[in-house]
Structure 1
Amino acid sequence: MSLRRYLSEFHPPVDESVLVDATSWLDDDLFWPAFLFTVGGSETAAVAFAADPADVEAYAAELHHADRWPFVVVRLASGDRLYVLFRNFEGDAGWDYLRQPAGTDTVTTVAALEGHFQGPAFSWEDLIAVASRPDPTRSAAERLLLLLPAMGDADLPDEAGRLVAAALDAVGVRQRYRREVARELLTAGRRFWGAPGPATSHG
């Protein structure tokens, strides 16, 4: 497992048996309200999906259970991979965005939310470019919403809210709540990054 070295850096080291591929969980009715509420920072996510808030909280608790670390893989250019990992380490829990270059077993943290902050990983322009890449396993809307929490950009275009609202429509958010949830998601990153401008590293 390519995440073995990453897990070994914790004190005490974390056994790779805790890792759970959660890619199929994206099809669960409660995944998106739970993800957008916890990682995305949307206070309206549960009602926006017409979900019972208690059910959403219970699902989120499972995502953050210390006995397992769920992750989702997003395909990048040239065979690279990006792991969206629920870092359920006691005393240092949060969410990590980890990049694995093609042909290597090394991962680099490009964004860490909660615990020890690092990032952001994307500007808005980067986010749209990565989310729009063809992927037979996940839609562009799903990719955008998975990666959005790692985006930090002080200069969002006027179309940002519309594009996020369209992505929310694709995963089942009720029409009357799409703009509100989109606004919450686009502003939630300020709790991590403040209001940074875009940055580029090695292209």
Structure 2
Amino acid sequence: MPLRGHLNDFRPPVDPSVLVDATPWLDDALLWPAFLLSVGGSHTAAVAFDLDPADVEVYAEEMHRHDRWPVISLDLARGHRLHILFRNFEDDAGWDYLLQPAGSDEVITAAALEGGFHGPAFSWPELVRTSGHPDLKHSQAERLLLLLPAMGDSEIPPGANQVVASALAAVGAQRRQDEVAGELLGASHRFWGPSAWTEQTGLPACLNQHSPRHLDAPTDRLALLAEAFGG
């Protein structure tokens, strides 16, 4: 089981039986505004999806029950996978973006929101490339919105807001998509602060020391993450 080792790192260790495949939840009308509220930091999402904010908050609370840890998994390049885990640990709740390298059952933390604030995992260009990776279970718009909270980039291009707004419309947002997109893109600065990207030995590296891809990271780790996220 790919996440068993990750769960064993908690004290006390977490029983894998709490894991729940949340992929089918993406068809639930309340899932997106709840996800964009709790993980993405958008307080306008409920209005954008024409839903009662109180209902969205109740749904978000259900997503964070201590006895149930939702997981959404995405295929990446070269056979790698990414698991988005709702880390509903009572004393250390948050969201983990966990890279499972191809051919391995181990996972590497690419980003952690709340708790250690480990990240960002990738830049804006890598987010766009990764969201476009072929996926039989998820649309490009779904992938972009699921991945967006783990992105950090000090040089987000002017057209990024429209890219995110279009993804929101594709998953059901009916109004104020531009406003929600701005909230989501602004949240990355709140999580990571300035996150400029450069190259280290020819590989993408982040100047933010909280990123697993910081300048002092081992070259093999930088290479793995660059391959997984299409760098």
Question: Is the TM-score greater than 0.5?
Answer: yes
Matched, 1:133 2:133: yes
Q: Which runs of 5+ in 1 are unaligned?
A: none
Name stretches of at least 5 consecutive residues in structure 2 with no aligned partner. 199-203, 205-221, 227-231
Name the counterpart of 2:214: none
* Separation in 1, partners of 2:117, 2:193: 12
**Amino acid aligned to 2:13:** P
Could you list the per-position Cα deviations for residues 53-111 of structure 1 after superposition, in whole angstroms to 9, with x for gaps in the alignment? 11101110111000010010011011111001000001100000000011110100000
Contact 1:152 1:198 in 2 (8 A): no
1:111 matched residue in structure 2: 111
What's 1:147 paired with? 147
Question: Deviation of residue 116 (structure 1)?
Answer: 1.3
Normalised by the size of structure 1, how large is the TM-score?
A: 0.97
* AA in 1 matched with 2:188: G
Residue of structure 1 in register with 2:35 after alignment: 35
Q: Residues 165 and 179 of structure 1 are in contact (CA less than 8 Å); yes or no, is this contact kept in structure 2?
A: yes
Identity of aligned residues (%): 61
Name the structure 1 match of 2:193.
194
- 3-state DSSP of counterpart to 1:189: helix
- Superposed CA deviations along residues 107-148 of structure 1, whole A, max 9, x for unmatched, are 000000001110000100110010001111100000000000
Separation in 1 of the partners of 2:197 and 2:67? Answer: 36
Q: Secondary structure at the match of 1:12?
A: coil
Identify the residue that residue 51 of structure 1 maps to in structure 2: 51
Which residues in structure 2 correspond to 1:91-102 (within 5 Å)? 91-102=91-102
TM-score, length-scaled by structure 2: 0.86
SS at match of 1:129: helix
Shift of 1:198: 2.5
Please tell me whether residue 81 in structure 1 is matched to residue 81 in structure 2. Answer: yes
Q: Partners in 2 of 1:110 and 1:188 — Cα distance?
A: 17
Q: Give distance in 1, aligned partners of 2:98 and 2:123.
A: 16
- Provide the residue aligned with 2:20 in structure 1: 20
CA RMSD of aligned residues (A): 0.8
Q: Confirm or deny: 8 A CA contact 1:19 1:69 kept in the other structure.
A: yes
Matches of 1:188 and 1:25 in 2, distance apart? 23
Which runs of 4 or more aligned residues in structure 1 lie more than 3 Å from their structure 2 counterparts after TM superposition?
none
Separation (CA, whole Å) in 1 of partners of 2:78 and 2:48: 36
Identify the residue that residue 172 of structure 1 maps to in structure 2. Answer: 172
- Which residue identity is paired with 2:169? D
Provide the C-alpha distance between the structure 1 equivalents of 2:196 and 2:152, rounded to a whole number of angstroms.
Answer: 7
Indicate if the aligned counterparts of 1:38 and 1:60 stay in contact, CA closer than 8 A: yes
Where 2:154 maps in the other structure, the secondary structure is: coil
